Structure 1
Amino acid sequence: MRAHEAGALHADISKQGPAWLRTPEDVNALMPALWPRSVTRGADGAVAVAGLSVRDIAAEFGTPVYVLDEADLRSRCRDFRAAFPTEDIFYAGKAFLCRAVVRMIAEEGLHLDVCTGGELATALSAGMPPERIGFHGNNKSVSELSRALDAGVGRIIVDSFTEIDRLTALARERGVRPRVLVRVTVGVEAHTHEFIATAHEDQKFGFSLAGGAAANAAFKILDEGVLELRGLHSHIGSQIFDASGFEVSARRVLALQAQIRDARGVELPELDLGGGFGIAYTSQDDPSTPQDLAKRLRKIVDSECAAENLAVPHLSIEPGRAIVGPAVFTLYEVGTVKELDGIRTFVSVDGGMSDNIRTALYDASYSATLASRASTAQPLLARVVGKHCESGDIVVKDEFLPADVQAGDLVAVPGTGAYCRSMASNYNHVPRPPVVAVRDGQARLIVRRETEEDLLALDVG
């Protein structure tokens, strides 16, 4: 067993003592599945990314700091591109978006999903070809839809009858015919947290399949003839490891596609099965490779199309966090170490729920390592916590760290590329951390650290 397996263990292990389960060598080890591909521990014991020591990163940019391995992100784009050479691969802007990342994924040939006007503005300002942008969202405003039409985005995923009416009116005014997909709620219970499962009936996204709303939405678009209905869209959730949900989803969506063909004589040319593929946050997670995902999804689609006597549509996928999530780790500095006899040891760092809300919001599990040095001390089962005025301000619930961890040490938490910076807040008036991209031993700032002046600039009172 390796040091990072502790991320899924309960703290009551401490009653048995950590030494039976861990050695100092284990605690210093880095599990490759959890870290960006260029991360190593150097001869001096410090963690390095693309040849650059985290001690140098902390000295130049401070902590907390999100560290992006640019080569890792690009290689994951290429892995999906190689596995899905003819399909459209949509990077999830909501996972993490900034202009530098937009340029990276555009250069690697990917498409981009956005779901707000701000995400669209970021994509356009970075030069993302608008025809490779898809616009999601359950409540797109008139101004957001107008901007999407004026920019010429490649597709809009419609989510309600109100939106269909709104978009139809705007398209008539402009004399344009935007491409749209109907988002279908297929009634699949994805094996994930309830807050990130998006295809069961009792939630806000899409048109119900069981209730007939999805079919009626498609008929409405086809009958009015203003919008160009390209296909159907289904997304069952995120952090998904089990492909069985996609099989059920594809069967139900393609049955609807056959119903539309039989009722209106139109065979829709596109299908988006979503994605939300899982990544490894701890050793308990076992994500599929892009090649395996491609093989299984193609088999599912081919089989269901044959059953419905449909031509195989052009497929789109949305890997979600699987591209950027593993490419980033967060670097913190330890401020205090507090031992509670017989309970646990709290290692407090200089960030917390303002830079990673997922542990508090989703009960998410993470791993961590002492990053500024190696240690020969015995393992200690610890809880890594933040500096915020909340008892729920937990970064890593349970992890083995060296017993000599102390103030001034650097601790790194992998797998923080998705939804951490995107969901970051200024809780307790803490400025949000910067994002630093590292490549070939060189670091560059791609999102600067917020300052107190930034916070006060918005306060006009």
Structure 2
Amino acid sequence: MRAHEAGALHGDIGNRGPAWLRTPADVNALMPQLWPRNTVRGADGALVVAGLGVRDLAAEFGTPVYVLDEDDLRSRCRDFRAAFPTEDVYYAGKAFLCRAVVRMIAEEGMFLDVCSGGELAVALAGGMPPERIGFHGNNKSEAELRRALDAGVGRIIVDSFAEIDRLTALARERGVRPRVLIRVTVGVEAHTHEFIATAHEDQKFGFSLAGGAAIAAALRILDEDALELRGLHSHIGSQIFDTSGFEVSARRVLALQAQIRDARGVELPELDLGGGFGIAYTTQDDPSAPHDLAKRLRKIVDSECAAERLAVPQLSIEPGRAIVGPAVFTLYQVGTVKDVDGIRTYVSVDGGMSDNIRTALYDASYSATLASRASTAEPMLARVVGKHCESGDIVVKDEFLPADVQPGDLVAVPGTGAYCRSMASNYNHVPRPPVVAVRDGRARLIVRRETEADLLALDVG
């Protein structure tokens, strides 16, 4: 069973029905771990975030709309910086990136990880100093690498022998010696969805440790000397709650570090353990606080370095979801409420899989609440669905909402800051929603809503 919002069930509902929620107040309750830190219910029962009511936000910006609590995002950056004061904390831009967010994380002292030429362009346009940018990606083009070199990015995480050759040629052509890390596939089976587990052997990322590709890549870079090999990189997946996977990964990567030392007499000065730290989408999820993560990761690295007789390298991590995920909720308007033979009620909203593909793609669980008012109606089992011509167009699989939910109501879904806007599409030619940042009772548009004119501008006929 999966529970949230004072007991609402997710996933396998079984034989338990609305009696699990004892009072309508349970349905109105906001669980703090699910929502941006400045979100409450106002005196009239409607959600208020950073001093702004959601009805006013909907009236000004329309729905659906991603609402970002700027102070929440900034405070999570500060939490990670305080927990990792001597380490390098890279915000994983793939979670969500725009120029305003680049400025926010830069002002909070973060580094930035990008994984495409487009993300690099946004990072530079947002004013991130290039030396604080790391460039990931399993198939970087020559043009992308050339732009990274010309910009002077701080490090490039190499992912294949072809990329080593490509980058070596470009570096020699330009007379530069870029800093690189080697992405190592460590063979860890992370306890997460298959599509977001990235360290097992049978997948596209990195150099295999077990097959010998990782040590071969390190020796090639060291021997050719066109690139400055700074360290090793490992990323085991996303939405991870258990640090045991990081322990296994660190042990294997540092054993490789010792192999490199023994083969060439070089101790690499950096180690990146990646990110993937989980957040709470429901109250079943129990994420670790940054200071707990820091304590455990340091203990793991210190222990393994001692075992291998290595100096402790400069550690870096890459939180993305853990920073932006909880800082955002998506606000929708209800268009249709449909009871299906007493099985459940379908609550259709004006967005769907085009603004949040994660439920369909990863079987992800989300919560939802009636946002425009409180209700004294009894709870009902509902499925929040979108407007797309697809039966898999589900936003929230199972949620208890008030039985009097009706067209025109606003529904909010928390935890949508990571990957929802980044993976948004124009399926059914639906324009993508805007992103609005709220702070101290003021709202500002940081990514505008797409229009039909935008869609037609790309259609050259």
Tell whether the structures are fold-level matches, with TM greater than 0.5. yes
Task: State the SS of the aligned residue for 1:66.
Answer: strand
Question: Equivalences for 1:108-119 in 2 at 5 Å?
Answer: 108-119=108-119
TM-score, normalised via structure 2 length: 0.98
Task: Note if contact 1:326-1:417 (Cα within 8 Å) is conserved in structure 2.
Answer: yes
**What is the rounded CA distance, in whole Å, between the counterparts of 1:3 and 1:245 in structure 2?**
29
CA distance, structure 2, for counterparts of residue 367 and residue 243 of structure 1: 25
| Count of aligned pairs | 459
CA contact (8 A) 2:4 2:284 kept: no
Per-residue CA distance 1:332-389 (angstroms, 9 max, x = gap): 0000000012311000000000000000000000000000000000001100000000
Report how far residue 9 of structure 1 moved. Answer: 4.1
2:240 corresponds to 1:240: yes
4+ aligned runs moved over 2 Å, structure 1:
1-13, 19-22
Aligned pairs for 1:247-262 (under 5 A) are 247-262=247-262
Q: Give secondary structure in 2 for the equivalent of 1:453.
A: helix
2:10 to 8, 11, 14: 8
What secondary structure, in the 3-state scheme, does the structure 1 residue paired with 2:316 have?
A: strand
> 3-state SS of the aligned residue for 2:203?
coil
Cα drift, residue 7 of structure 1: 5.0
Partner of 1:140: 140
Partner of 2:198: 198
CA distance in 1, matches of 2:120, 2:108: 19
Structure 1: how far apart are the matches of 2:228 and 2:20? 63
Kept in 2, the 8 Å contact 1:64–1:351? The answer is: yes
Change (3 A) 1:2 1:450: closer
Equivalent positions of 1:37-436 (< 5 A) are 37-436=37-436
CA RMSD of superposed structures (Å): 0.9
Cα distance in 1 for partners of 2:438, 2:9 equals 26
Q: Work out the CA distance in 2 between the residues paired with 1:211 and 1:74.
A: 42
Q: 2:440 & 2:449 partners in 1: Cα distance?
A: 23
Q: What is the SS of the residue equivalent to 2:322?
A: coil
Code of the residue aligned with 2:10 in structure 1: it is A
- Offset at residue 22 of structure 1 (A): 3.6
Please state how far the C-alpha of 1:11 moved relative to its aligned partner.
4.0
Higher mean alpha-carbon deviation, 290-299 vs 340-349, is at 340-349
Q: Secondary structure of 2:19's partner?
A: coil
Q: Read off the aligned partner of 1:442 and give its amino acid letter.
A: R
SS at match of 1:303: helix
**Contact 2:239–2:276 under 8 Å retained in 1:** yes
Q: Secondary structure at the match of 2:75?
A: helix
Q: Is the 8 A contact 1:66 1:328 kept in 2?
A: yes
Of residues 156-165 and 341-350 in structure 1, the stretch that sits farther from structure 2 once superposed is 341-350
Corresponding residue of 1:30: 30
Rounded to whole Å, the distance in 2 between the matches of 1:67 and 1:410 is 13
Q: State how far apart, in whole Å, the 1-side matches of 2:364 and 2:184 are.
A: 28
Whole-angstrom distance in 1 between the partners of 2:167 and 2:291: 37
CA distance in 1, matches of 2:187, 2:5: 39
1:52-93 per-position Cα deviation (integer Å, ceiling 9, x unaligned): 000000000000000000000000000000000010001011
Kindly tell me: are residues 207 and 26 of structure 1, through their superposed partners in 2, closer, same or farther at Cα, counting changes over 3 Å?
same
Aligned partner letter, 1:6:
A
Q: Secondary structure at the match of 2:57?
A: helix
Q: Which amino acid aligns with 2:5?
A: A
Change (3 A) 1:348 1:115: same
The answer to whether the 8 Å contact 1:11/1:344 transfers is no
Report the CA distance between 1:19 and its aligned residue: 2.9
3-state secondary structure, aligned to 2:279: coil
Given residue 10 of structure 1, which amino acid in structure 2 is its aligned partner? D
Cα separation, 2, equivalents of 1:4 and 1:209: 45
**2:4·2:282 contact (CA, 8 Å) conserved in 1?**
no
Q: How far off is 1:408 after superposition?
A: 0.2
Q: CA deviation at 1:190?
A: 0.4
- Pair 20,274 (structure 1): closer, same or farther in 2 beyond 3 Å: closer
Structure 2 residue runs of 5 or longer lacking an equivalent are none
1:342 match: secondary structure: coil
Letter in 2 for 1:430: V
Q: Is the 8 A contact 1:8 1:284 kept in 2?
A: no
Q: Is the 8 A contact 1:5 1:284 kept in 2?
A: no
SS of the equivalent of 1:19 reads helix
Tell me, in whole angstroms, the C-alpha distance in 1 between the residues paired with 2:58 and 2:6.
23
- What is the CA–CA distance in structure 1 between the aligned matches of 2:393 and 2:415, rounded to whole Å? 18
CA contact (8 A) 1:38 1:50 kept: yes
Unaligned runs of 5+ in 1: none
TM-score, with length taken from structure 1: 0.98
1:274-308 deviations in Å (ceiling 9; x for gaps): 12100000011000000000000000000000000
Whether the 8 Å contact between 1:133 and 1:155 is mirrored in structure 2 is: yes
Q: Give CA deviations for 1:154-183 in whole Å, capped at 9, x if unaligned.
A: 000000000000000000000000000000
Q: Matches of 1:198 and 1:116 in 2, distance apart? A: 18
- Is the CA contact (8 Å cut-off) linking 1:370 and 1:409 kept in structure 2? yes
Q: Secondary structure at the match of 1:222?
A: helix
CA contact (8 A) 1:7 1:366 kept: no
Partner Cα separation in structure 2 for residue 2 and residue 416 of structure 1: 16
- Matched AA of 1:347: V
